[in-house]
Amino acid sequence: MLLLGAMAGMAGCASIGPPQAPSLELPKPPSDLHAARKGDKVTLTWTIPARTTDRQSVRYLGKTDICRSVAGALKQCGTQVGQAAPPADFEQAKKRSAKKLSATFTDTLPAALEQEHPTEFATYAVEVLNKANRGAGISNQARVPLVPTLPPFGDFSAQTTASGVLISWQCPATAGRKRDTKYLFRIYRRPESSTSETKIADLEATKCALGAGASDALSSTGSNTAADRGISSFLDQTFEWENTYSYRGMVVSVIEMAGTPAIDVEGDDTHEVKVFAHDVFPPAVPSGLQAVFSGPGQQAFIDLIWTPVADTDLDGYNVYRHEDGAAPVKVNSELVKTPAFRDSRVVAGKTYFYSVSAVDQRGNESARSEKASESVP
């Protein structure tokens, strides 16, 4: 019995091991920092650390230092440009969400910094601290170009025309532009039923500012039109009728450096304009109408032919006939699908006057063509 008790005591002592060092509670540095620039605003995003450097769950999260440098890579945070507070309910948020928690911070670039370093980059990093304001080092680093951006063009508007949605704007003065920087005017379109948008054009803003007429469209998704007195415009023809769209634009600064791809930075947006693309525009009026009688030896009839209408949404034609002094009457029961019609309901000794109209897929009807007449012997 004494021997068994001694052995049990020895086994109990062996299970206790050396005491563990307390956790330093240092959040693991983020590795997914991302920086995106729009105008003079740089938006930083990163994942909030869920683990400490000693692989423990983060319990006491402090503030996050935001670091910026124009002297190349950062070795440590150094001068801060701001701090991001931890989520107010960090512990509860971790329990509620199975996904990783993210954080954001927006930095405003000083105008002087852009002017002094127009061809250089700003480098960003963040350092997440614990409650005692201690951290384990900076995150990965993200860069944004410091090329100066321009304010948006004024008087941005859009209206529906027969040819498409005509977007126009007032060109600004050339003040603030850099000689070694290229400027574009970029236009986005978004359907009302969607949250995603499409870039529909990049236009050379330099020609706009010089009042040289039309801007050159660098996108094949539409065509541009000429304008005078510094006003430029773009004709969007890639939309679908009977839908509502929102348009916005901005001036884009583009810098090209030897050995590297071109870098562009979007400036601030114009106000957003909304357009209902309602098609109330009739197709072109048919032309070249001719009427020819045929009859000897067979049933009498008058053949009509005309030049086809080239509208892409053309659905067909209507044919109208009348006698001298009478009102025109439509003689076809259904739309005529080809630019030709045979009128077999003719009577000898009468003269008939014909005209033709075009109808699109939404029922818009053009004016009638010039008349053509033919007599039945």
What are the structure tokens assigned to 27, written together?
Answer: 């959040």
Task: Report the share of the chain in percent with pLDDT over 90.
Answer: 65
In a domain, 94, yes or no: yes
Q: What is the pLDDT of residue 219?
A: 40
Task: Report the share of the chain in percent with pLDDT over 70.
Answer: 82
In a domain, 271, yes or no: yes
My answer on whether 310 and 265 are in the same domain is: no
In a domain, 97, yes or no: yes
Q: Where are the alpha helices (DSSP H) in 158-220?
A: 205-209
Q: What is the pLDDT of residue 181?
A: 85
Q: What is the pLDDT of residue 103?
A: 94
Residue 208 reports pLDDT greater than 70: no
Q: What is the pLDDT of residue 96?
A: 57
Coil, strand, or helix at residue 187? strand
DSSP state of 27: B
In a domain, 15, yes or no: no
Indicate the residue type of 163.
S
Instruction: Write out pLDDT tens, residues 223-250.
Output: 444 334 456 899 999 999 999 999 999 9
Instruction: Write out pLDDT tens, residues 347-364.
Output: 999 999 999 999 999 999
What are the structure tokens assigned to 137, written together?
Answer: 């080092």
My answer on whether 104 and 162 are in the same domain is: no
Report the C-alpha gap between 341 and 17 in whole angstroms: 103
My answer on whether 43 and 95 are in the same domain is: yes
My answer on whether 97 and 191 are in the same domain is: no
Domain endpoint, select from 249, 276, 303: 276
Q: Which of 92-96, 207-211, 262-266, 298-302 has the lowest mean pLDDT?
A: 207-211
What CA–CA distances, in Å, run from 114 to 93, 120, 121, 252? 38, 9, 9, 15
My answer on whether 211 and 138 are in the same domain is: no
What is the full DSSP assignment across 276-292?
E-------PPPEEEEEE
My answer on whether 260 and 163 are in the same domain is: yes
What CA–CA distances, in Å, run from 160 to 11, 56, 92, 190, 245? 88, 61, 51, 15, 11
H/E element, 24: none
My answer on whether 316 and 261 are in the same domain is: no
Q: What is the pLDDT of residue 205?
A: 81
Report the C-alpha gap between 89 and 98 in whole angstroms: 15
My answer on whether 247 and 357 are in the same domain is: no
Domain endpoint, select from 214, 242, 276: 276
What CA–CA distances, in Å, run from 352 to 62, 203, 335, 340, 344? 92, 54, 21, 16, 12
My answer on whether 136 and 207 are in the same domain is: no
Per-residue pLDDT, averaged over 261-290, amounts to 95
Which CATH number fits the domain that encloses residue 89?
2.60.40
Instruction: Write out pLDDT tens, residues 113-171.
Output: 999 998 899 999 999 999 999 999 999 999 999 999 999 988 999 999 998 999 999 88
Domain endpoint, select from 229, 251, 276: 276
In a domain, 3, yes or no: no
Per-residue pLDDT, averaged over 257-286, amounts to 92
| Average pLDDT, rounded, for the chain | 86
Which CATH number fits the domain that encloses residue 362?
2.60.40.10
Q: Binning pLDDT at 50, 70 and 90, where does residue 20 land?
A: low
In a domain, 12, yes or no: no
In a domain, 28, yes or no: no
My answer on whether 203 and 236 are in the same domain is: yes
In a domain, 297, yes or no: yes
Instruction: Write out pLDDT tens, residues 310-342.
Output: 998 999 999 999 999 999 999 999 999 999 999
Q: What is the 3-state secondary structure (H, E, C) of 298-337?
A: CCCEEEEEEECCCCCCEEEEEEEEECCCCCCEECCCCCEC
Number of domains in the chain: 3
**What is the separation, in whole angstroms, between the first and last Cα of the chain?**
141
My answer on whether 301 and 353 are in the same domain is: yes
Segments forming the whole domain that contains residue 242: 154-276
How crowded is residue 327: how many other Cβ atoms within 10 Å of its Cβ? Answer: 7
Do 135 and 65 form a contact (C-beta atoms < 8 A)? Answer: yes
Q: What is the pLDDT of residue 97?
A: 56
Q: Nearest CA to 251 among 227, 232, 267?
A: 267
My answer on whether 321 and 214 are in the same domain is: no
Do 237 and 245 form a contact (C-beta atoms < 8 A)? Answer: no
Neighbour order of strands in the sheet with 142-145 = 80-84, 61-69, 121-130, 142-145
Do 354 and 371 form a contact (C-beta atoms < 8 A)? Answer: yes
